[in-house]
């Protein structure tokens, strides 16, 4: 199968390692709690912060960021007040923004380029920063941290990760 989705529209579970599946479950939960009706790239980033693996923790350390504090800032920044009741969300194509679908496909491609069959949290993190017009990278650029610097720190953190 070349696509990341099953014919039913569900995200293929076989392309995710367990930490990435956990990140995506957190992203769904954070989508609901911030009153959005579809998963957006900031929700993926918040999912990475809420369920950090070794690489994401190392990236945050290199950045000098406090993961819980950063998660709170993004949750506050992307919360929608006065939104309507959110229906149940699933990891289906219909509940993912076009940018999230593109990012997941790019992360899957990156995993393949690295010789892996499964997307890792670091694939998601690095792809978030290298995607053109990334709202997540833009948030950091507003405080003086460039997407290039975020990517560099993520790649260094990925290299430090223990081999599985």
Residue 3 lies in a domain: no
pLDDT tens track for 85-124: 666 677 888 899 999 999 999 999 999 999 999 999 999 9
Smallest Cα–Cα separation from 30: which of 101, 80, 69, 65?
Answer: 80
Whether 1 maps to a domain, the answer reads no
Stated pTM of the model = 0.93
Q: Does some domain include residue 153? A: yes
CATH number of the CATH domain containing 17: 1.10.1780.10
Residues of the domain holding 150: 13-80+87-160
- Given a cut of 60, whether residue 132 has pLDDT beyond it is yes
| Residue among 70, 37, 88, 81 nearest 140 (CA) | 70
Alpha-carbon 83 to chain mean position = 23
- Whether 41 is in a domain gets the answer yes
Report the chain's mean pLDDT, rounded to a whole number. 92
Residue 2 lies in a domain: no
**Predicted confidence band of residue 164 (pLDDT cuts 50, 70, 90):** low
């Amino acid at each position: 199968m070349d696509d990341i989705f099953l014919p039913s529209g569900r995200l293929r579970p076989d392309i995710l390692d367990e930490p990435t599946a956990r990140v995506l479950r957190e992203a769904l939960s954070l989508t609901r709690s911030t009153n959005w009706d579809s998963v957006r790239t900031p929700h993926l980033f918040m999912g990475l912060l809420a369920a950090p693996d070794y690489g994401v923790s190392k990236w945050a350390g290199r950045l000098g960021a406090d993961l819980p504090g950063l998660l709170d800032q993004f949750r506050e920044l992307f919360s929608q007040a006065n939104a309507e009741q959110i229906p149940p969300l699933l990891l289906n194509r219909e509940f993912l923004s076009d940018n999230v679908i593109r990012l997941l496909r790019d992360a899957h491609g990156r995993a393949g380029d690295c010789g892996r069959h499964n997307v890792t949290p670091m694939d998601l993190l690095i792809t978030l920063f290298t995607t053109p017009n990334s709202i997540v990278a833009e948030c950091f650029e507003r405080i003086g941290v460039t997407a290039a610097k975020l990517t560099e720190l993520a790649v260094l953190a990925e290299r430090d990760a223990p081999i599985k």
